[in-house]
Amino acid sequence: MKMLEIKNLHASVGDKEILRGINLTINAGEVHAIMGPNGAGKSTLSNVLAGRDGYTITQGEVLYKGENLLELAAEERAQRGVFLAFQYPVEIPGVSNIYLLKAALNAVRKYQGLDELDAIDFLSLVRSKLDLVKMDEQFLHRGVNEGFSGGEKKRNEILQMALLEPSLAILDETDSGLDIDALKTVSEGVNGLRSADRSIVMITHYQRLLDYIEPDFVHVLSDGKIVKTGDKELAKELEKTGYSWVQQGQAE
């Protein structure tokens, strides 16, 4: 089954075109890595897919499970199973983590035509997910990401993902700012969520994340386009040679 089809996607911020014709198909169960130098358009791609305001789509289309994704509001995408793990998770004092998790889960369940979980079922579900990312229960009662370390914030993102069980998860620079232990924990969490009916897109600058979460495909994004596609060996090559050859290759 095709999870995501991006066809000739062009997107601008103001007058500046950032995405300049992206083509990418992701099937259910696949893990794709999108790598590229700073400024290539990696974060723009993840924001456009998640539905953040401020981007103008000038050409192309995106189909998610065959449906026109770009017509949907951010919350409609989330309810249908699109999940973005943020590069810089926001801190929201005053909204407790558990309240957020419950509101998010119930929004998704409501779309699926399911009843809200009662407090007891909800708590036992959340507890089982906490184990996956090795988080202490006390984090549930703190404000969303309030005073969390970088690693705790990223684990909290994966906790939300584990609870919402998305069909398409986009991990935006999930490895950034993580020490090696936190990277392992987060990666184990993500690996635990790999399944035949879930696709994962990892957006990353560095190869090291791919040592822990092994992708099926690696794409190189440069100057708003995918310029090369390969398997995990491509990532290793990039690690050795850097991105300059990609940019040169493009110029030729």
Partner 1 sequence: MKQITELATPFASISSDETFFGDDLPWLKSLRLKARTQFNNAGLPAKKEEDWKYTSLRPFARQQFNHGAKTQPLSVEQCNDYALLDDAYRFVIIDGVFSAELSKIDGLQAGLIIRPLSEAVDLIQPHLGQQVELTKPGFTALNTMMMSEGMAVTVDSNVKIEKTIELLVINSGESANLATHLRHVIVLADNSEATIIEHYLGLNADSSFTNTVTEVILAESAQLKHYKLQQESSKAFHIATLAAKQAAKSQWTTNSISLGAKLARNDVHTQLLGEQSHVVMDGLYLVDNDQHVDFHTRIDHTVANTTSDELYKGILNGNSHGVFNGKVMVHKDAQKTDANQQNHNLLLSRGCEIDTKPEMEIYADDVKCGHGSTVGQINADHLFFLRSRGLDEVSARSLLTYAFTADVLDRIDSELIRTALANVVEQRLPKPSI
Which residue stretch of 8-16, 79-87, 202-210, 226-234 sits at the interface with partner 1 (rule: CB under 8 A)?
A: 79-87
Which of 15, 16, 94, 119 touches partner 1 by CB under 8 A?
94
Binding mask 198-217 for partner 1 (x = CB under 8 A): --------------------
- For residue 202, the cross-strand partners are 33, 171
Which of 107, 117, 125, 193 touches partner 1 by CB under 8 A?
107
With beta carbons less than 8 A apart as the criterion, state whether 26 and 84 touch: no
Which residue stretch of 1-9, 56-64, 106-114, 217-225 sits at the interface with partner 1 (rule: CB under 8 A)?
A: 106-114
Q: Is 79 in the site for partner 1 (CB under 8 A)?
A: yes
Q: Is 193 in the site for partner 1 (CB under 8 A)?
A: no
User: DSSP letter string over 39-57?
Assistant: TSSHHHHHHHHHT-SS-EE
Binding mask 23-52 for partner 1 (x = CB under 8 A): ---------------------------xxx
CA proximity to 163, closest of 198, 122, 135:
122
- The SS3 call for residue 215 is coil
At position 198, the amino acid (one-letter code) is R
Q: Is 111 in the site for partner 1 (CB under 8 A)?
A: yes
In this complex, which beta carbon is closest to partner 1, that of residue 107 or of residue 125?
Answer: 107
Between residue 166 and residue 185, which ones bind partner 1 under the rule CB under 8 A? none
> Could you give the CA distance from residue 197 to residue 53 in angstroms, rounded to a whole number?
29
With beta carbons less than 8 A apart as the criterion, state whether 163 and 126 touch: yes
In this complex, which beta carbon is closest to partner 1, that of residue 138 or of residue 244?
Answer: 138
- The SS3 call for residue 217 is strand
CB of 161 to partner 1, least distance (A): 10
Which of 41, 89, 189, 215 touches partner 1 by CB under 8 A?
89
- For residue 68, the cross-strand partners are 63
Binding mask 121-150 for partner 1 (x = CB under 8 A): ----------------------x-------
In this complex, which beta carbon is closest to partner 1, that of residue 105 or of residue 209?
Answer: 105
* Crossing angle between the packed helical segments 232-241 and 244-251, to the nearest 10 degrees: 100
- The SS3 call for residue 94 is strand
In this complex, which beta carbon is closest to partner 1, that of residue 79 or of residue 207?
Answer: 79
CA proximity to 58, closest of 11, 17, 23, 6:
11
- The SS3 call for residue 175 is coil
Sign, Cα dihedral of 171, 174, 233, 225: positive
> What share of residues in the chain are helix, strand, coil (percent, to 5)?
40, 30, 30
Tell me which residues touch partner 1 (CB under 8 A). Answer: 50-53, 73-75, 77-79, 83-84, 86, 89-90, 92-95, 99-100, 103-104, 107-108, 111, 143, 160, 164
